[in-house]
Structure 1
Amino acid sequence: MSAIEYVARTNTISIATELRDGGEVRTPIWGVVVEGVPYIRSAYGPDSKWYRRVQRTGHAAFVDGRQRYPATVENVDDEATIRRADDAYKEKYADEPSALREVVAPDVREYTMRVNFQGE
């Protein structure tokens, strides 16, 4: 499975972010794919430790069992793209309405990030 397929098909994806001491932490998050481009969002805004680590380093890895998908991550500030990501979250996670409300809440939409997988 490709990295983009992993994000598109997997309900809860695993993001590995780098600690200052060189270690890493894996965190379960949600992700979506819009027109072939993967996106992630911090449902807790800047309070999420994984989000702060991604902002500090600009990269992460996504982990599916033994498979690792290294990536760079960039913030999205285009309202049309953020709206398309909202729609993708609403479609993919329709069966989880309480958590979905958190990830599409107006105050966290600005924490949307584009994932650029290496080699894809």
Structure 2
Amino acid sequence: MAVIDYLTRTKTVHLATELANGGEVVTPIWAVVVDGVGYIRSGYGPQSKWYRRVRRTGRATFIDGPRRYPVAIENLNDDPVNRAVDEAYRAKYRWQFGALRQVVSPRVRAYTMRVEPLTPDADG
């Protein structure tokens, strides 16, 4: 799937979330893939505006240049998966020690979300 390839190969992904008035905001964030499934995590917890928008809509779009990958996003409450997501973040972002420490801290595990493609990737 192209969205999973994008999440795997791109250090900082671009996540578009919907505003209440119908517009969208694109936010650069980190993302990882574990066992073929994409995950994102709000390192700033519920204070992140993008996180609040995703929680409101359950949807977002990853943007890779001209390509758009619409996804459904759901919160995750699974300790073994969260540990695997922690390890994926450590492996992918080990060069960003300070920010990485925050994103793998136990207090932000509650803000881990699973990414599910909404449509088949036509260009994938």
| TM-score normalised according to structure 1 size | 0.97
Instruction: Name the counterpart of 1:19.
Output: 19
Letter of the 2:15 partner, please give it: I
Following superposition, which runs of at least 4 residues in structure 1 exceed 2 angstroms of deviation?
A: none
Secondary structure at the counterpart of residue 107 of structure 1: helix
Separation in 1, partners of 2:38, 2:20: 26
* One-letter identity of the residue aligned with 1:91: A
Distance 1:89 1:108 in 2: 13
Q: CA deviation at 1:84?
A: 0.4
What do the CA deviations read for 1:46-90 (whole angstroms, capped 9, x no partner)? 000000000000000000111000000011001000110000000
> Corresponding residue for 2:43?
43
Q: Which moved more, 1:96-105 or 1:12-21?
A: 96-105
Distance 2:50 2:25 in 1: 8
SS, match of residue 108 in structure 1: helix
Paired AA for residue 57 in structure 1: T
Distance, in Å, in 1 between the alignment partners of 2:15 and 2:105 is: 21
Matches within 5 A, 1:74-93: 74-93=74-93
Alignment partners' CA distance in 2, 1:28 and 1:16: 9
Amino acid at match of 1:28: P
**Count of equivalent residues:** 120
Task: Tell me the residue number matched to 1:112.
Answer: 112
Once residues 60 and 25 of structure 2 are traced to their aligned partners in structure 1, the CA distance between those partners, rounded to angstroms, is 10
Structure 2 residue 35 is matched with structure 1 residue 55: no
Q: Structure 2-normalised TM-score? A: 0.94
